[in-house]
A and B are shown apart, each in its own frame.
Chain A
Amino acid sequence: MIGLAVGCYNDDYLFGALCKRDNDCGSEQCCSNRRCRTNDESCLGLGEAVPFVPAYSICTTDADCLEHGIPHCVVLPNANRGFCADLCVGDPNLDCDLHVFGAPLLTLPRTCIEVGGQSLCALNCSSTNLCPEEMQCQEGVCTPTP
């Protein structure tokens, strides 16, 4: 598209938005589970309660996450790495993505944390003290290990 080529209208702002169907999202996007994501092989079907692999993966900038359709790289204060996450909306255990954790399927609970004036999804380790690899439980939230 000429518009994209010259940097005009760009619907990337819809990444991570809550959706019900593909048409709710932008061009070259899909409604993966309940969020708008990049339309590629990682797209999940509607209502599939399966983990989204790139969710909560380690990142340093937003660009690392945007390529998978996740809008933010959540970097906590005094940390140099963060994790990919969506903005919280509704119930975090319902609307924040699941994460692959162990086999057979074992999921971690999710919660919302305040960073930079925004409410973001995060893995909740306050009750289990369990976190994925390369992450540690810090103040009840899984954060990248330094």
Chain B
Amino acid sequence: MYADTVTLPPHVRLLCLALAASLSLGTGTVSAAQTAPPERDLAYELGIEAEAAGDPGRAAAAFERAYRLTAPAETGPRLLFLRASVAARLRAGEASPLARVQLCQAQALLRDYLDLQVTPPAGADPAAEQRADLQQIDLRLGVEGPSCESLLAPPEIPQPDPPVTEPPKPAPPAASASSPSSPSSPSSPSSPSSASSASSASSPSSPQPKPAATDPRARALRLSGGVALGVGATGIALLIAGVVLGRKANTRGQALCRDAMIGCTAYNAELRAIEASGRRGDTLLAVGAVVGGLGVVSGAVLLGLGLRRRGPGRVSWNPQIAPGSAGLALSGRF
């Protein structure tokens, strides 16, 4: 059983793959088995990793992809991937609030598989286990709730490409011969189950939105606005330092001259130092006022222009209401 397979160490998993390949050889489809598509192996490995990571939904999607990448003639690997996917779907259905979607996907996969199976007139049915699984799923789905057709309908908005997409390289001839999109394949990619499997291969329950495109000019405006505000803040710091220095010089000068017991001499070293310190404070204040004023004003203008170019939604006011309090919250994004 697949459930046993996923708990085995990696070298046993490889052995399992080899066993699947040998089963294919046994059915006489030599060309397909000898050159298994690397995409299929990759999808299977991803499924194993997802299982190990405790994400049965992603594992089911990856196993289903491996299943669909396997030619119908490769009965062994195909059955292995089918079992793995169905088992993962059932487990995901137990844990996920989207249980019905998982069951529907398993149902579609099993139906897809069983459509190809020829029921023997008598004797043992090789697909008996899958028929039992399907029956069990049909029972669990029942008659209430949304239909599987509506749940598995392809979304109207195109979803982002799945991350399991393999790097672009020419597919080997055997793989292209057994591609699920080939006309000979019973499962057309346009069918609901295929569409859902393609979308669920990336993330079955949470499609990730594409990051919003940023206007480079708006970004440049925001950046330069930020830099200008930084310069302005430095100017204001200089201004404050100048004020402090000047006031300190005043106090010391008053104490030495006007408030002293006897008169002071303007040319003594201490008074000269106080005077120099005061003039330095004046210079800092003047420079800080000019730099700070220009920086703050230009920074605010640039930042405002940059945020306006970014469009609505970046800065917003939200009412905050709670028992005993009410207010407005300003939120913004950079």
Q: Which A positions have Cβ atoms within 8 angstroms of B?
A: 1-3, 6, 8-11, 13-20, 24-26, 31, 36, 71-72, 86-89, 95, 117-119
CB-defined contacts of A16 to chain B, threshold 8 Å? 257-258, 263
Is the Cβ of A14 less than 8 Å from the Cβ of B285? no
A55 to B275, CA, bound (A): 26
A-B interface contact total, Cβ < 8 Å: 96
B247 contact set on A, CB distance < 8 A: 8-9
**A2, A3, A19, A88: the one within 8 Å of B262 (CB):** A88
25 A-B contact pairs sorted by A residue (CB < 8 Å): A1-B286, A2-B285, A3-B285, A3-B286, A8-B281, A9-B245, A9-B247, A9-B250, A9-B279, A10-B250, A11-B275, A13-B258, A14-B253, A14-B266, A14-B275, A16-B257, A16-B258, A17-B266, A18-B266, A36-B266, A71-B258, A86-B263, A87-B257, A87-B264, A118-B260
Q: Give the shortest distance, in Å, between B217 (CB) and chain A (any CB).
A: 36
Scan B270-294; emit 1 where CB is below 8 A from any A CB, else 0.
Answer: 0100010011011001100100000
B154 within 8 A of A: no
CB-based nearest A residue for B255: A13
User: Is B124 part of the contact surface with A, judged by Cβ < 8 Å?
Assistant: no
Q: Are A24 and B246 in contact (CB under 8 A)?
A: no
Q: Complex Cα distance A30/B242, Å?
A: 26
Expressed in whole angstroms, the Cα–Cα distance for A72 and B249 within the complex equals 20
Which of B246, B263, B281 counts the most A-chain CB atoms under 10 A from its CB?
Answer: B263
Q: What A residues does B249 contact at CB under 8 A?
A: 9
Contact A14–B260 (Cβ < 8 Å): no
Give the nearest-CB partner of B286 in chain A.
A2
Residues of B within 8 A of A36 (CB): 266
- Give residues in B with beta carbon < 8 Å to A: 242-243, 245-247, 249-250, 253-254, 256-258, 260-267, 271, 275, 278-279, 281-282, 285-286, 289
The DSSP consensus for interface residues of chain A is loop
Q: What 8 A-B pairs are tightest by C-beta distance, nearest first?
A: A9-B246, A89-B263, A8-B246, A87-B263, A9-B278, A13-B253, A3-B282, A17-B266
A14 to B264, CA, bound (A): 8
Contacts A3-B246, A86-B263 given; indicate if A14 touches B282 (C-beta within 8 A).
Answer: no
CA distance A26 to B247 in the complex (A): 15
Which of B243, B265, B278 is in CB contact (< 8 Å) with A89? Answer: B265
Known interface pairs A8-B281, A11-B275; A3-B242 also in contact (CB < 8 Å)? yes
Q: What is the distance, in angstroms, from A24's C-beta to the closest C-beta of chain B?
A: 4
CA distance A117 to B258 in the complex (A): 12
A46 to B263 Cα, complex, angstroms: 19
Q: How far is the CA of A27 from the CA of B250 in the complex (A)?
A: 14
Residue of B nearest to A29 (CB): B266
Q: Is the CB of A17 within 8 A of B289?
A: no
Give the chain A neighbours of B286 by CB distance below 8 A. 1-3
By a CB distance below 8 angstroms, the chain A residues around B281 are 3, 8-9
Distance between Cα atoms of A43 and B321 in the complex (Å) = 70
**What CA separation (Å) do A3 and B285 show in the bound complex?**
7
Q: When chains A and B are docked, how far (Å) is the Cα of A2 from the Cα of B279?
A: 12
- In the assembly, what is the distance between CA of A20 and CA of B265, in Å? 9
B253 touches A117 (CB 8 A): no
Which A-chain residue is minimally distant from B257 (CB atoms)?
Answer: A13
A137 to B69, CA, bound (A): 122
CB closest residue in chain A, given B248: A9
Residues of A near B245 (CB, < 8 A) are: 9
- Give chain A nearest CB distance to B284 CB in angstroms: 9
Chain B residues contacting A89 (CB-CB under 8 Å) are: 262-265
CB distance from A45 to the nearest CB of B (A): 17
